[in-house]
Amino acid sequence: LSEGQYGIEGYFDEILRGFQGEISAEKDIRGRFFNIGEKIEPQNGADLILTIDHNIQYQAEIVLQKAIKEYKADSGSIIVLEPKTGAIWAMAGFPAFNPNLFNQVSEESQDVFNNPVITAAWEPGSVFKPLIMAAAINENKVTPETEGEFGNFVVVDSYEIHTSTDEAYGKETMTQVLENSDNVAMVWVSEQLGKELEYQYLKDFGFGRKTGVELDTEATGEVLEVKKWSNTQRATIAFGQGIAVTPIQLITASAAIANGGKLMKPYLVSKIEDASGKVDVRAPQEIKRVLNEETAKKLREMMVSVVEHGHGKKAAVPGYKVAGKTGTAQIPDFENGGYTDKVINTYIGFGPTNNSKFVILIKMDKPKGITFAADSLSPTFRDIAAYLLNYYNIPPTR
């Protein structure tokens, strides 16, 4: 029997393969069987019923490919997840391959077999800010209304950290810090948390370990041990640099905000039916409560404000309150140190925020002719969010 490789087939290979059967017997010198003993009949493997919704999957692939083509990106990925359960409704990466013609993929291109949603770790940039802000609010270090005065740069251990536009935003509330995606202000927020608390929330949100989603070859990302952190490390993590995460980790953590502070395990298999007809229904699994309900509610409102007043205006869906955050992350230069001029755009959002039905993460690698995710992926999020709101016949929230 063939052996499952990668993804669902790799993860569930043992139960999918079934058993080809056995018979014990002896052969004479002419190869004829005699003394035939016990015969074990072959048995089919189990059937897996996935959480993937064919219609949502199709739409997600369409909007992802449209964005990649429009902005001439090298690659990209998208996930749609139900925050209350962790069920994955759609998951796609591009470039892709035809599984019926997998043998036609060249040896140089075989990395395409790996699912980027679970393997492609990257420094996420500003989409990480709501999680650090949530930690600070949850620890009563700040509130959405806390004000500060912030310049265009700050020095941490002789290292200059600038705002993305090198603009000083002046007096801001914490809500405005997210609206403006202010790196300098986020450094101040991380100072209020301190190394130990910031690290603890990274672990609580699930970074640095596998989510346990039922897919083979999942990566862990990378979170440096807190004892090795410098002040600069603590500061840059606050705006999504100096840490490596996978898309599945990031959407799972962000879904906790949409889900009232509860972190759910992402899953792809809703039922397993074995050859005898026995059905194992898979129940959603709560990993832990990371935030209290009041903190999660405050963050949802802050992220709605980002869409309505900040860099995410193009993500707005008329008639609905949706939350979101953009991220434009520079790609590290591993040969020479520092960062290259290439970027990765990410958008993460959910809605409707009074009772979130979905969370969406869209990632696009090395787009051309555009820098900020606010311009590229905000409209992409709007398109798939509008589709989902219509698909589930969710009435307007305004």
What does the pLDDT look like over 31-43, one tens digit per residue? 776 667 676 666 7
202-236 confidence digits (pLDDT tens): 999 999 999 999 998 899 999 999 999 999 999 99
How confident is the model over 128-164, as pLDDT tens digits?
A: 999 999 999 999 999 999 999 999 999 999 999 999 9
Q: What is the pTM of this model?
A: 0.90
SS3 sequence of the chain: CCCCCCHHHHHCHHHHHCECCEECCEECCCCCEECCCCEECCECCCEEEECCCHHHHHHHHHHHHHHHHHCCCCEEEEEEECCCCCEEEEEEEECCCCHHHHHHCCHHHHHHHCCHHHHCCECCHHHHHHHHHHHHHHCCCCCCCCEEEECCEEEECCEEEECCCCCCCEEEEHHHHHHHCCHHHHHHHHHHHHHHHHHHHHHHCCCCCCCCCCCECCCCCECCCHHHCCHHHHHHHCCCCCCEECHHHHHHHHHHHHCCCEEECCECEEEEECCCCCEEECCCCEEEECCCHHHHHHHHHHHHHHHHHCCCHHHCCCCCCCEEEEEEEEEECCCCCCEEEEEEEEEEEEECCCCCCEEEEEEEECCCCCCCHHHHHHHHHHHHHHHHHHHCCCCCCC
| Mean pLDDT over each residue of the chain, to the nearest integer | 91
